[in-house]
Amino acid sequence: MSQAHLLGLLERGKPPRLPPRLLEALQRQFEPQLDAAQEGEDEAVLEAALADAAALGIPARRLDEASARFHESAVALARRTRRERLGLTDSRSPDEFRCPLTLAQMRDPVVASDGHSYERRAIEEVR
């Protein structure tokens, strides 16, 4: 199945009938696109990514997480914009709140066996 054919199926909302291993590989490849959509500021891009992810059979829990993080980001952006308008621009979080692996602010921190805190998803990918 060509990539264009697969994209056509996704655009029509039809789940592709693929061998399980190929479907798992496609899901893994799609994860970064879903991550990028949830971190962005365009709700239409997120909705398209969520529809594609659902068509690929990505678990609903992961889709709910992406949607929630997008809305968290939107709220954070609104707060940041308001602080900037009020002249309160120095609102950086401490470096201790950043994951040493992703360098992003941790949303779901866990303490590893080495005693350091990491973003749960980054640690799960390293395992």
Does residue 57 sit in the same domain as residue 27?
Answer: yes
Question: Are 101 and 118 contacting, i.e. CB atoms less than 8 angstroms apart?
Answer: yes
Give the helix/strand (H/E) hosting 110.
strand 109-111
How much is the average pLDDT of 95-110?
89
Q: Two tokens at 3?
A: 């990539």
pLDDT of residue 119: 92
Q: What is the domain count for the chain?
A: 2
Does residue 82 sit in the same domain as residue 103?
Answer: no
For 43-98, write each residue's pLDDT tens digit: 777 777 777 777 777 777 877 888 887 888 788 888 888 888 887 766 567 788 89
Does residue 43 sit in the same domain as residue 96?
Answer: no
Confidence of residue 110 (pLDDT cuts 50, 70, 90): very high
Does residue 44 sit in the same domain as residue 104?
Answer: no
Does residue 72 sit in the same domain as residue 102?
Answer: no
CATH number at residue 99: 3.30.40.10
pLDDT of residue 17: 66
Provide the whole-model pTM: 0.45
Does residue 67 sit in the same domain as residue 119?
Answer: no
**Distance from C-alpha of 37 to C-alpha of 34, rounded to nearest angstrom:** 5
Does residue 83 sit in the same domain as residue 117?
Answer: no
Question: Are 33 and 49 contacting, i.e. CB atoms less than 8 angstroms apart?
Answer: yes
Q: Which domain holds residue 117?
A: 92-127
Q: Two tokens at 103?
A: 């360098």
